[in-house]
Amino acid sequence: MLVKCNFLSKLHLCTTQGRWANVGVSWTDQLTEAILYSIPEDGRLRTLFTRWCMQGHEERQFIDDEIILKREKFELYLPLKRAMARWEEVQDTKGAPGFEPGWYGFTCDSNLEEALANMVKTVNAIIDGIARTKKSAFLEHSDV
């Protein structure tokens, strides 16, 4: 699913020339794979992944609910969430396998990269809100 094109010499999600329309493979699956391979190399994705791992089931459900309520770009959130879940599974089952640095790019579509960056910011903001709520609750209980 990841390919090389004339615009980027690294393996990446190519959105040009209709190359992403792989038969039997959905756009969401392709985007998930591209994000998955980008997590080890992209600082924003690595940071988000680390923060994501610190969230429990309830917090992750809250993030899902917030994205849905805000009517954010769910078509970007779902692949992001799936990629983080798959990377977490890889970390749990295989340790911390690395990828060859500089081998993968994300995409040759700057609009898609910007939209994903905005989604990462949105999820980070929700996690920040969760942390503030937990801190407030802790401070209230510690005063008692």
pLDDT, tens digit (0-9, with 9 covering 90-100), for 90-100: 887 776 655 55
Transcribe 70-135 into DSSP letters: TT--HHHHHHHHHHHHHHHHHHHHH------TTSEEEES-HHHHHHHHHHHHHHHHHHHHHHHHHH
Question: What is the pLDDT, as a whole number, of residue 125?
Answer: 92
> What is the per-residue pLDDT for 68?
86
At residue 85, the pLDDT reads: 93
- Is the confidence at residue 139, as pLDDT, over 90? no
Nearest CA among 53, 16, 13 for reference residue 33: 13
**Averaged pLDDT, 73-83:** 88
Does 124 score more than 70 pLDDT?
A: yes
